[in-house]
Chain A
Amino acid sequence: MDELTREIYGNIGTVSKIVFYLCAVASVAVFAWGIWRRRQMWRIGRDDGERIDWRATLRSFCTKVLSQRTVRRTKRKAGKYHAWLFYGFVILFIGTCLIAVEEWSHRLLGTDGTNLFHKGLYFVIYEIVLEAGGLLFVIGCAWFLVRMLRKGGGDTVGYRKADLWLIGSLLVIGVSGFVLEGMRIIREATPSPGISFVGWAVSRGLAVLGFRQENVSWPHFLTWWFHSLLVFAFIASLPFTRLLHLVAGSVNLCLVRKKLGRMVPISVEELEASGKTGVEHLHEFTRTQLRSLDACVACGRCTDACPATEAGQPLSPMAIVQDLRGHFNVIAPLVQKARRAGTDPALIATPRKLHGDVISAESLWACTTCNACYDVCPLGVSPVDLITDLRRFLIGNGELSGPPAVSLQKVQRSGNPWGLPARERFAWAEGLDVPTVKTRPDFEILYWIGCSASYDRRVQKVARAVVKLLDLAGVNYATLGPEERCTGEFARRMGDEFLFQEQADSNIEVLRRYAVKKVITHCPHCLNSLKQDYPQFGGDYEVVHHSVLLSQLIMEGKLKVNPAKTGPVTFHDPCYLARVHGTTDEPRRVLAAAVGADALKEMPRNRRDTACCGAGGGRMWFDDEPAKRVGRGRIDEALATGAETVAVGCPFCLTMVGDGLKAAGSTAAVKDIAELLADAIGD
């Protein structure tokens, strides 16, 4: 068995080996320098205090990078071939390293001539694995090359001309590796060559072409050098090409910790120090964000998932990231120079300004902050995060006017976006005997009503349904009554951080006064704000969506319901519930109880892949022409299920879907799951 081995560096003379190692060192040095240069460029950004948690990083590496899970989630085919390419590459890389270990160890131990471990069963396994790896690698490269040659074939992935050379070179590396192996097999008449099954097949082919042991040495030698130089070129060029994502991308993916739907607060001190909010110049992004620009490979998954892009709005998350990256390449050296000279980078004269030239305000305002882009990105890039930081500057600089600005002003003065009297906030509950924190001081759960249910007649019906269900189940709950004010959630997502903080401080004070610990709400935006935003300001509560509590009450038997006979029903998952908070089962359980599991027809984009209704991120207050209204496609999707009722779990969705259905001339109804449940229970 020990005869099963092969000579390492056979046909490669000492001079070649020395030159080879020198080249290796040189290419690794160039690689390292390139990466270092990029890292220094990332460091022009703000230090956000990111500290590496090695355990979590290692875990991320395994669950995200090694598993290739993130790249396979969407664009499944491309994800699969990328996984093949990746595993193939990793196998080949490790394999090559093992060869080097073998070479150096048997050289150091003075057992020149025979391999230490690279023989026998190990060798057999090694060869098979590497052949398979090489094959995966070659097939992967070929698939991507073909896709690129077909100009994407309708795929949204972004390419540059140079990328064609890149993938071509990788393919050539893979193929030449097999050719090399084939030649080696011929030259050395390797015993049991069939173990290296691909190489063996290649050697058969080469033999047909006339290559024999006598004449193969030179071609082998030349091919070996060709293959090696190509590999060194690949290593050295990595930081300067799309391949940078191997480093920047995996680093970003492993280090990024930010949860969906969460934003970083700005303190008043920061505001006083800098005199502004948000990002005006590129170097005001954090280092993490700048690094994420390098992580992006323009794969297009974010743009595919973006509801604004779908509606024809001037927003493509991929374009935002790539445009920022282009600007970053120009700006970063200038900023580094300015810092060395001790001048303020903000004063650098640039041919293109970040706001206006590189990124238009129009594209920034088109975002609904649905977080699909961040969720779907295989490399942990968050375009929505970049967008909200840029929005913060626009708002702080007074560059917003019209109805959306008016909504912000109304929240500040009246505590709701419509400017309706604050003292009428609890008027919806008139005559309904709804318990408040004053009438039921020993409540356990606070039912947070939110602005929509307080003032919008249609949404008030949802609150009434929830109240009816909670009363029926005997839940010990209370509402804040007229003391509730807008959570400020949409103000924060529009970029008005301080209006949000004003609202949060006011609400947190009221919640503290009534010792609120648990909160239930029917609005996923209020939910997200209370759960993720408010803890940043001292408000810590256990917050659940009403579907979670209702589902629990049904399972505990506290709500007894027989499913009502209805036509087909489809559920439109709210972005902030399904994607940001991962709550997708509970609403379906409530629906199943209310209308029966058979009535439920799923839309193609459901659960975490839900398509935004278009109201988030403050977009509810923007007036779009119907043709470009975000969420239009979703209406068509809902209608295509044949559903007679669209069930929702969010007051924004309720309004948007309702309006959308009416505009489409449909008679389908839109109802909150609580309404459907209350209807099914009857009186």
Chain B
Amino acid sequence: MKILVPTKRVPDPDQPLLLNATGTAVDLDGVPSIINPFDAIALEEALRIREEDRAANGGEVEVVAVSIGNTDCEKELRIALAMGADRAILIKVESAVDPWVVSGLLKALAEKEQPDLVLMGKQAVDDDCNQTGQFLAARLDWPQATFASKLEFVDGGRIRVARETDAGTEVVSMPLPAVVTADLRLCEPRYASLPAIMRARKQPLEELSAAELGVDITARVEVLEMETSNPKRECVRVGSVDELIEKLRGAGALPR
């Protein structure tokens, strides 16, 4: 069984963000990066599927991590390898990508790699789109299960997934191959420390380009301008409940 885990490199959410000179993108210079937390959860789940033999195939599971971006992504791929992924693929793209481009690249890769399952985070904590997994499933014409909080393998090459929805926890089942996007509650990712990362350094990374995959990387969504909103908070003392409500409505925090 092969599980493909897209792992996106995102800036560390703890770091205060500054914009670039033109205000069209975040200035990532000097900002530490991490694997998108939801992708790390997906990767952890894939690793556990292998370690716990949940697919009941003797643990014969290949976990392949894939990142899309420039060579900076190699760091996150090494961490994925350090956590336990068997292979790591970098699809080299220099320009900014959106869910459409990413899903196109992943689709081409999936057609090449023929995984049984694509397991990825429900959204990336930088763009917060929550679209890529769904786009990929549609384009592959595979069933999808988003916001997964539990993943089980059942007989007949099917999976049963518990999903976190507004209505509560929904359980669906579907045949493989499928796309599953991970929610926070799926599992807790393991910590990859330096020894593991150093071991991973010896493993080769595979590189592909968009051209090799035959994918057009024109984005459908363009960011026109950005503004940051992490100013220092100045605590305003209010004197009454009425004043509090008024201030909160004014700040757009409460619906009118």
Query: CB within 8 Å of B: which residues of A?
Result: 271-272, 275-277, 395-402, 405, 408-410, 412-414, 419-421, 423, 496, 498-499
Contact = CB atoms under 8 A, between A and B. Distances in A.
8 contacts: A271-B194, A395-B193, A405-B190, A408-B191, A409-B191, A410-B14, A419-B14, A498-B195
Contact of B188 (A395, A401, A412, A419): A401
Contacts of A499: 193-194
A413 B191 contact: no
Contacts of A419: 12, 14
A413 B195 contact: no
B196 A413 contact: no
Contacts of A414: 12, 14-15, 32
B143 interface: no
A271, A272, A413, A496 interface centre (most CB from chain B within 10 Å)? A413
B136 interface: no
A498 B12 CA distance: 20
B44 A396 contact: no
Interface residues of B, number: 21
B103 to A, nearest CB: 29
A302 B12 CA distance: 42
Given A413-B15, A423-B16, A496-B193, A398 B198 contact: no
Contacts of B191: 395, 398, 400-401, 405, 408-409
A408 B189 CA distance: 13
A275 B191 CA distance: 17
Contacts of A420: 14
Contacts of B194: 271, 277, 396, 496, 498-499
Given A272-B198, A413-B32, A398 B192 contact: yes
B3 to A, nearest CB: 18
B31 to A, nearest CB: 9
B82 interface: yes
Contact of A421 (B14, B189, B195, B196): B14
A383 to B, nearest CB: 23
B34 A271 contact: no
A400 B34 contact: no
A453 B12 CA distance: 24
A350 B1 CA distance: 30
Nearest to A275: B199
A401 B190 contact: yes
Interface of B: 12, 14-16, 32, 34, 44, 82-84, 188-196, 198-199
Contacts of B15: 413-414, 421
A107 to B, nearest CB: 66
B42 to A, nearest CB: 14
Contacts of B84: 398
A423 to B, nearest CB: 7
Given A398-B82, A398-B190, A271 B14 contact: no
Given A413-B32, A413-B34, A397 B44 contact: no
A398 B14 contact: no
Contacts of A498: 193-195
B81 to A, nearest CB: 11
Contacts of A398: 82-84, 190-193, 196
B34, B44, B84, B188 interface centre (most CB from chain A within 10 Å)? B188
B83, B190, B195 interface centre (most CB from chain A within 10 Å)? B195
B193 A401 contact: no
B196 A397 contact: yes
Contact of A271 (B12, B189, B195): B195
Given A397-B196, A408-B193, 5 more contacts: A396-B196, A401-B188, A409-B191, A414-B14, A498-B194
Nearest to A393: B195
A412 B190 CA distance: 16
Nearest to A392: B195
Contact of B12 (A277, A397, A413): A413
Contacts of B189: 401
A416 to B, nearest CB: 10
A394 to B, nearest CB: 10
A395 B32 CA distance: 21
A126 B188 CA distance: 72
A396, A408, A419 interface centre (most CB from chain B within 10 Å)? A396
A402 B188 contact: yes
Contacts of A402: 188
B32, B82, B194 interface centre (most CB from chain A within 10 Å)? B194
B192 to A, nearest CB: 5
Contacts of B16: 421, 423
A405 B34 CA distance: 14
B198 A271 contact: yes
Contacts of A396: 193-196
Contacts of A408: 191, 193
A499 B194 CA distance: 8
Contacts of A413: 12, 14-15, 32, 34
B78 to A, nearest CB: 13
A405 B191 CA distance: 6
A498 B14 CA distance: 22
B195 A277 contact: yes
Nearest to B194: A498
